[in-house]
Structure 1
Amino acid sequence: MIDPTTEPARGGGRPPAVSALLALLAPLTRPSADHTPLLAHVSRPWLRYLPYVFAVAAISSLLPSSINVLSSDYGLNAGLAAGLAVAQTVPLLLAVSRPLPAWWMIGGADLLTSLLILTTGRDTSSVWPWPATSLVGYLFLMLPLALREPRRTLVSVWLVTSATSLLLSAIAPGSRFGGDNTLLAAALSGAVLVLGGALRERAEAQRLLAEQEHISEAERERRTLLEERARIARELHDVVAHHMSVIAVQAASAPYRIPEVPAAAAEEFSAVAGTARESLAEMRRLLGVLRSEESAAEKAPQPGVGQLAQLVETVGRAGVPAELATPPELAGTLPPAVDLSVYRIVQEALANVVRHAPGAQTWVSLAVDDQGLKVTVVNSAPPARTESLEASAEGTGQGLVGMRERVRLLDGRLDTGPLPDGGFKVAAVLPLDTPGEKPA
């Protein structure tokens, strides 16, 4: 039976004070896994060398000063003073990439310096327990430490610094020396740690915000693309449904229009008509899935090349003078998908002119050659400081995304970009390889 009076304390048999001390020291033994130098990720190359420049400058100024202060003011041997000064300053170069190991080196050298001053130095009017040069170098170290290590490590560093200062001050009261800088060391080191930690957390928050904005922008682009594809699918439903309806009607009426149709052929026609009607029903269900609450107006008949003149006139009333050049025989001869796509491409291009170049002269032209149907919308540079007419734009709001999707659907080509004179060009080539539907 275990005697309650001899039962070990919680925490693996260690007293609570020891467990608390180990918990305090644990972060000090786990430096950050990121060993890249400070400012290594900045865009300007010369900024990446600034931490090393500051470290070398600090070493160059503190090293001779520390040797002089330790030997002249505190009475240490010149060689010993030089060794301690090197240990207190040179690790500042290591602090650029590994600040916590540098803290162990500089902190240990500072503690050893104070103990040697206490045991072998002479009474002096200088401050205790930290020589001024040691305190300045220690504060230089606090900044890279705060910019790299987590908050828990910084708290441990400050507590160890403060506890060590209080312990040394208790061992040798300031009456033997010129003054006690224990509170000053604790306050200044804490202030630098807080400042550096705040800068690090602010930079981290800005980085996470930039990443989130990048992800949000990618999601917006993807959503825009999917919305435009769904819109094109809804519009093409009418085109495909028309052809399927014609197939159904022709197949159903074939036995009556064609004399002496064999029974097997009549049965086949009936099966084709039934399949066409089933396909139409499935397409209506698909359209119900694709159609959103805001798409009720899309049930109207789909526009085409024949409505381009009215579109150009509407844009002209909105303050964008536009001219249309199209072969008169083109209307009504294009494949339905091409006819609809031409109208939407021109509509989006003119809407972009209204939004981004209000008042600019615009030319719309259609032409047919061996490559297919060429659709070109070109605008000049907008007049200086014209009021935005975005409210008058009649596009779908998808802009170049919608144009690219329509051209890709028809295996065509799209060329867009600014012009040297400040204008903008949209040029699309749509193939006309559907048998029997190519315009004359």
Structure 2
Amino acid sequence: MTFLMEGRPRREERSRALLAGASRRWVRLLPWGVAFVLFVVLLPTTIQVLSVDYGLNGGIASALAIAQTAPLLLAVFRPLRAWYVIFVADVAGALVLLTADLDKQSAWPFPPMQIIGYVGLCLALGLREPRRTLLLVWLATAAAGVGLEFVTPHGASGGSTLIIILSGVALVLAGALRERYEAQRKLAEQETISEAERGRRTLLEERARIARELHDVVAHHMSVITVQADSAAYRLQGLPPDVQEEFASIAATARQSLGEMRRLLGVLRNEEAHGELAPQPGLTRIGQLAEATARAGVPVEFTPCDADVPEAEALAAYRIVQEALANVVRHAPGAPTRVSVSVSEDGPQLTVLVVNGPPPVPPAAPLEVGGTGHGLVGMRERVRILGGTLDVGPLPDGGFRVAAQLPLTERTLT
């Protein structure tokens, strides 16, 4: 089954016209134009030369001419099948010419018009067939030419050497062009696949990181629930037995959930990421980001937010500001930047805004070459998980804007 599936694209490719995959239209039409011109020019010329110069019967000359030129039109789709017909027709034509009255001016076994058509056919073969087929074609051509030399009629000039050399050159050049094109096409496909795979891997890594961070947030609350449920019997005097059993059940369920989350964290957490065990940053740490960025040479105007927001939204806001400021340092060093975090009453929602202007002096070269924009992937993924919106893009003055809105469902204001 695998063999059949792998062979199917190859058969479909061979059924297409030569250069059908070219991006430019004139390149796709080039094989048709060359084949048509060769057919229109060589057909009457061959009939004229065979009947007049070689003295063949008009019917035989016409039949040979059609057999030697008409398959050139087929060569646009099936050059190997066209070669079978033309090769047999050329050899048969050479044998028929033995019956003609040849002199020293007569080219034998292959007149010039046959050589031209055969070389054009070899170019088509080189653009379609693999090396092994091209080698067999040339060996057959050489064998036919050498074999016919042994029966060269007295007084005729042999032309086998010329067709052997020209056909070999045409096959090598066309085959080299085809292999070069195939190599470039495969390289472009591989680069596209690699870039898509890098983006997919980055997205998966960012999702795993978000999952780890959210796990730490949820684990904290679950731990609080467990402690409160376990200590309720000691903190609250006079609880009925059924209420104490209910608190004990809540504590047991919370401990079981914590155990399951810890096992999940063991799968998600990278053993080398020792820093993941630290408490996750929130809104209060954004000011430290602004100060660190200012020390890096980027003037930052920061508007803090004193609201008490859920840890998941606070963590997302911190990561968005962190990535946005890192992009400013990389791509617009020295650009004045404004960072603001605020909570709106209508909604309610947490708004994160990072806007930078153009750099005072355009950098001669970016600090990082070959950036893929994967940092924005993490921003969008965090905002999407929390059900918010993200708006990023350049500004008319040459700056850049990052605006995120995160809905709040469990917030309290201090």
Is the TM value for this pair above 0.5? yes
- Aligned partner of 1:59 in structure 2 is 39
Distance in 2 of aligned mates of 1:155 and 1:210: 29
Asked whether 1:126 is paired with 2:106, we answer yes
Asked whether 1:185 is paired with 2:160, we answer no
| 8 Å CA contact retained: 1:31, 1:100 | no
Distance in 2 of aligned mates of 1:181 and 1:439: 98
TM-score under structure 1 normalisation? 0.83
| 8 Å CA contact retained: 2:152, 2:158 | no
Q: Which runs of 5+ in 2 are unaligned?
A: 1-9
Identity %: 58
Shift in alpha-carbon separation, 1:111–1:387, aligned structure 2, 3 A: closer
Shift in alpha-carbon separation, 1:413–1:362, aligned structure 2, 3 A: same
Shift in alpha-carbon separation, 1:262–1:211, aligned structure 2, 3 A: same
Distance in 1 of aligned mates of 2:211 and 2:365: 35
**How many residues are aligned here?**
399
Asked whether 1:200 is paired with 2:213, we answer no
Compute the displacement of 1:350 (Å): 1.2
The code of the aligned residue for 1:428 comes to: A
| 8 Å CA contact retained: 1:354, 1:390 | no
The code of the aligned residue for 1:366 comes to: V
| 8 Å CA contact retained: 1:52, 1:96 | yes
- Aligned partner of 2:275 in structure 1 is 297
The code of the aligned residue for 1:316 comes to: A
Shift in alpha-carbon separation, 1:438–1:88, aligned structure 2, 3 A: farther
Distance in 1 of aligned mates of 2:244 and 2:314: 35
Asked whether 1:344 is paired with 2:324, we answer no
Distance in 2 of aligned mates of 1:261 and 1:419: 63
Distance in 2 of aligned mates of 1:404 and 1:345: 9
SS of equivalent to 1:294: coil
> RMSD in angstroms over aligned alpha carbons?
2.6
| 8 Å CA contact retained: 1:56, 1:93 | yes
Distance in 1 of aligned mates of 2:368 and 2:13: 52
Distance in 2 of aligned mates of 1:232 and 1:88: 70
- Aligned partner of 1:172 in structure 2 is 152
Distance in 1 of aligned mates of 2:412 and 2:207: 26
- Deviation digits for residues 111-163 of structure 1 (CA, Å, limit 9, x no counterpart): 23222221134334232211111111100000111211233332332222222
Compute the displacement of 1:72 (Å): 4.5
- Aligned partner of 2:50 in structure 1 is 70
Shift in alpha-carbon separation, 1:57–1:243, aligned structure 2, 3 A: same
SS of equivalent to 1:313: helix
Asked whether 1:258 is paired with 2:236, we answer yes
Distance in 1 of aligned mates of 2:240 and 2:28: 87
Q: 1:419 aligns with which of 395, 399, 402?
A: 395
Task: Report which stretch shifted further, 415-424 or 226-235.
Answer: 415-424
Distance in 2 of aligned mates of 1:40 and 1:162: 31
SS of equivalent to 1:171: coil
- Aligned partner of 1:429 in structure 2 is 405
Q: 2:333 aligns with which of 358, 368, 373?
A: 358
Distance in 2 of aligned mates of 1:82 and 1:201: 38
| 8 Å CA contact retained: 2:54, 2:100 | no
The code of the aligned residue for 2:208 comes to: A
Task: Report which stretch shifted further, 179-188 or 307-316.
Answer: 179-188
Distance in 1 of aligned mates of 2:304 and 2:26: 58
Distance in 1 of aligned mates of 2:21 and 2:385: 42
Shift in alpha-carbon separation, 1:112–1:193, aligned structure 2, 3 A: same
Compute the displacement of 1:387 (Å): 5.0
Q: Which runs of 5+ in 1 are unaligned?
A: 1-29, 392-396
Q: 1:405 aligns with which of 359, 381, 387?
A: 381
The code of the aligned residue for 1:346 comes to: V
